Amino acid sequence: MEFIRITNIADPLFAAMHKLMGEVFPPEEVLAFDLWKEPLEDPGIRVFVAVHEGEVVGTTEYRYYPDFNVAMTDFTIVGRPGLGIGPFLWRERQRDLDALAYSFGQKLDGMFAEIYDPYKAGDHDFGGLMTMNPYVRREVLSHMGYKRIDMAYVHPSWQNDGEAVEELDLGFLPYNGRDEVDAALVAKFLRRYYAVLPNKPGAWEEMVASLDQKDKVALLPL
């Protein structure tokens, strides 16, 4: 299996990746095809596909913030069972992130991820892929060490229509096992991560503003 980075919207592997995303994720979670041009060319956004016998069978997008010394996993898709795609993507992504942190003289401190709440997203079948079932994914992430940030989480729709998406929790993987995270880090991260979307719902603005009034936020079990 190959771990191949995509940096150009014209790459045929990107068309296959975007098609896979559309089959798995709900529309509000998928950025339109043409709007991917700039993100793919952004050196700070890392988009990789897992290619098995010439076919895109998985994909992951993530980024590293050297000034925060944390990463964000935007999404991961395991497109077929029985090939070890999930462990492969995790291992290759972790290797890449460790190298990125090392290049800045740092050791990665943690990683954010938006994690589906299966009790809210249970009506979505994620393309019929059991590997993407929200119950399965949540348990896998829990085993990896992810914890739920103690806040009622919403995020702006990626359709940029100002709607609030409420089917997810904001998770954090603390590499030192701690049970709280700086509220200021969470607020700064969210403001930067969603700066690309000008139409943010009021509920999101209120959520982020509330973090400014706190020192720490608890990390709870998933």
List, for residues 58-89, the tens digit of each pLDDT value. Answer: 999 999 999 999 999 999 999 998 999 999 99
pLDDT surpassing 80 at residue 53: yes
Which of the four CATH numbers 3.90.1150.10, 3.40.630.30, 2.40.30.30, 3.90.105.10 does domain 2-220 have? 3.40.630.30
Domain spans in the chain, listed from the N-terminal domain onward: 2-220
User: What sign does the CA torsion over 93, 193, 173, 26 have?
Assistant: negative
> Can you tell me whether residue 33 is helix, strand or coil?
helix
- 174-192 b/e with 16+ CB inside 10 Å = b? beeeeebbebebbbbbbee
**Which of 9-13, 159-163, 170-174 shows the lowest mean pLDDT across its residues?**
159-163
**Model confidence, pTM:** 0.89
**How big, in percent rounded to 5, are the helix, strand and coil portions of the chain?**
35, 25, 35
Mean pLDDT of 180-200: 94
pLDDT surpassing 70 at residue 37: yes
Count Cα neighbours of 110 within 13 Å in the Cβ-side half-sphere: 22
Predicted pLDDT at 123: 61
The per-residue pLDDT of the chain, averaged, comes to 92
